[in-house]
Amino acid sequence: MKNNLIACAVQQGCNSGRETNLAYSLQQIEQAAGRNADLVVLPELHLDHYFCQNEDTDWFDLAQPIPAGPACVSLSAAAKAHQVVVVSTIFEKRAPGLYHNTAVVFDKDGSIAGTFRKMHIPDDPGFYEKFYFTPGDLGFKPINTSIGKLGVLICWDQWYPEAARLMALAGAELLIYPTAIGWNPDDDAGEKQRQLDAWITIQRSHAVANGIPLISCNRIGFEAAPDQGSGIDFWGNSFIAGPQGEIIASADHVQDTLLFAELSAERSEQVRRIWPFLRDRRIDEYAGLVKRYLD
C-alpha cells in the first residue's frame, strides 16, 4: 500500500433521486481530490434510495450493466479527471433475471481495477436483498490498484470475520466496507445504541485481527418504506480505523461528511510484528469452519 495514503469516506444521503445522488457523489469526489485524497469510498448503492425495503419487480429497472452502464462511465471519468481511486457500489444487471450488488473500483486512470460482488445477502424485514441480489461468485479477492491491494466487501459482509480474514490472507492491505445500514424507528433508544455499538465493534475487530486499516462508509437519512412500513433511519457513523482498531476519524449520524484519514503501510507492518496473529493461527485445527454447524 502507498505509505501515507489519504483516504476519504463520503457519508451522504441517497434519497434524492438518481441524477441528484450521482451529481452529489461526483461533487464529493472532486472536493476530496482537492484535499489531496488518494482514495474515495462511496456508500453502498449510493445512486438510489434503498429499494430493498419491499419486494417489487419494477425496482429491477434501476440495475445497469458493468462496465457499459452510465454510472460506470461517469465515475470512471471522475476518477481519471481527479486522479483518485474511487470505490462505488452499483446494482448490476449481469443478464436478464441475474442481478448483483457489486462494488466497482476505478483506478486513477479511469480504468476499472476490479469488482467485488456482495457475498452475504440478508433477508430481514426492511432488508429484502435476497429478492434482488444473486450471491457473489468472485470470491474474497483483493483488488490491485495504483495505491495498493484493496479488500472491498459490502455491508452484510462486514459481520463475518471469515470474509475479512480471507481478504487479509490474500494480501489485502486495507479493508473497505461500503454500507447501507440503519435503525428501525420503532426500536427504543437502548436497542438502537446496542446495534450501533455492535456494528462498530465487529468492524474494529476485523482491523485488529488482521492488522490492517479499515474504512466503513455508511449512508444517512430517513427513507420511508413504500408499503407504509416503519422505514429505515440510516445511522451514518462512518469511520476509519487503524490496524489496532483505533478510530482515526468518525462521523455523526446526521451530517453529510467527507471523512479523511492518513493511513500508513509502515504502521500496519509494525503492528503485525508485535501482534503476529497470522503467524500463530492453528490452521491444522480449523477444518470445522467449512461446516454449517458442528453437531
pLDDT in tens, 82-116: 999 999 999 999 999 999 999 999 999 999 999 99
| Domain extent listing, the chain | 5-290
* Helix boundaries (H) for 170-264: 189-210
Q: Beta strands 39-41 and 174-179: pairing type? A: unpaired
Which residue from 267, 289, 273 is spatially nearest to 4, judged by alpha carbons? Answer: 267
| Cis peptide upstream of residue 243 (ω within 30 degrees of 0) | no
pLDDT in tens, 106-149: 999 999 999 999 999 999 999 999 999 999 999 999 999 999 99
Percent pLDDT > 90 in the chain is 97
pLDDT of residue 229: 87
5-290 domain in CATH 3.60.110.10? yes
**How is the beta sheet containing 143-145 ordered, strand by strand?**
143-145, 148-152, 174-179, 214-218, 239-241, 247-250
- What is the pTM for the complete model shown? 0.97
The H or E element that residue 34 is part of is: helix 18-34
Give the residue numbers marked as catalytic.
Answer: 44, 118, 155
Distance of CA 19 to the CA centre of its chain: 21
- Dist CA 147 CA 113 (whole Å): 11
DSSP codes of every residue in 122-184: -EETTEEGGGT-PPP-S-S--EEETTEEEEE--GGGGG-HHHHHHHHHTT-SEEEEEE--EE-
- Dist CA 248 CA 80 (whole Å): 28
- Dist CA 294 CA 6 (whole Å): 43
- Dist CA 80 CA 72 (whole Å): 12
Q: Which residues of the chain have pLDDT under 50?
A: none
Q: Which triple of cell numbers denotes residue 294? A: 458442528
pLDDT of residue 3: 86
